[in-house]
Amino acid sequence: MEADKTGTPIVTQPKKSRSSLLQLTIVGAILAAIALSFGLNVLSQGAPAGVPSKLADMKLNKNSYVEGAQALAQVNQLHGTAINLMSAYIAEYSHDFNPYHTDRARVTVWVGTAGSNDAATQLLNRMVSGIGNGNEMFGNMQQLNLDGDAVYQVSGAGGDHFFYQSRKSPDRVIWLTIQEAPNTMSIVEQALDEF
């Protein structure tokens, strides 16, 4: 056994032990990188900027989120004509993230941004007038007053439908389609705050 100048024995690790430690460090770093990537890309429930990640106890289904030209095309198709929006997005919320959840509630939120607050008011008035004068898809329109906001409720296929001018961003018009939810009005009230 070797000793240093003071006579203290020098303990050296065998080369095999150093090699094993290096391999363990590399494997640990690779596993940490995989875990981080999996967490950020698969488990992350983050939403696009400005879009709530949750509505009631439902989460945004990022696979059903549509924005830009595709969303504008879908909104125009829904109206049957081009409605001159600056931008749009469609967000769907559900319990699909939890396979053990028995609630089949689903909410689709259509958000259209007009050029100004006045343009959004005009769009909302055209929607009210168009549905109020008779519409193949929607009927039985009722105006609700929720905390001072006019919210219009209509009946039609696919669930309960509500639309309104956003209090958060008055240049936006919001349409909600709520399916199989036991707490419809609480969802509408939360949506008023969120969209």
* The token pair that represents 99 in the structure block: 């396979």
pLDDT number for residue 182: 87
How many other CB atoms are found less than 10 A from the CB of residue 141?
16
pLDDT number for residue 36: 40
Single-letter code of the amino acid located at 116: S
37 versus 174: the higher-pLDDT residue is: 174
Q: Band of the pLDDT at 139, cuts 50, 70, 90?
A: confident
pLDDT in tens, 74-104: 887 776 566 789 999 999 999 876 666 667 8
Q: Residue 194: helix, strand or coil by DSSP?
A: helix
Locate the domains of the chain by residue range.
Answer: 1-44, 54-194
DSSP class of 62: G
How many other CB atoms are found less than 10 A from the CB of residue 27?
10
pLDDT number for residue 45: 46
Comparing 129-133, 141-145, 178-182, 188-192, the range with the smallest average pLDDT is 129-133
pLDDT in tens, 14-68: 555 666 655 555 544 454 445 444 443 444 445 577 899 999 889 999 888 999 9
pLDDT number for residue 137: 84
Q: What is the 3-state secondary structure (H, E, C) of 12-60?
A: CCCHHHHHHHHHHHHHHHHHHHHHHHHHHHHHCCCCCCCCCCEECCEEE
Give the residue-averaged pLDDT of 95-114: 82
Specify whether the CB–CB gap between 141 and 153 falls below 8 A: yes
Residue 154 has, within 13 A of its CA and on its CB side, a CA count of: 23
Task: Note the pTM of the prediction, 2 decimals.
Answer: 0.72
Q: Residue 125: helix, strand or coil by DSSP?
A: helix
pLDDT number for residue 74: 87
| Cα 126 to the center of its chain, rounded Å | 27
Long-range contacts of 59-68 (CB under 8 A, 24+ apart): 59/93, 59/94, 59/95, 59/97, 60/91, 60/92, 60/93, 61/92, 61/93, 61/94, 61/96, 61/97, 64/90, 64/91, 64/92, 64/108, 65/89, 65/90, 65/91, 65/92, 66/90
Specify whether the CB–CB gap between 176 and 148 falls below 8 A: no
Q: Is the pLDDT of residue 170 over 50?
A: yes
Torsion from C-alpha of 124, 136, 105, 175, nearest 10 degrees = -10
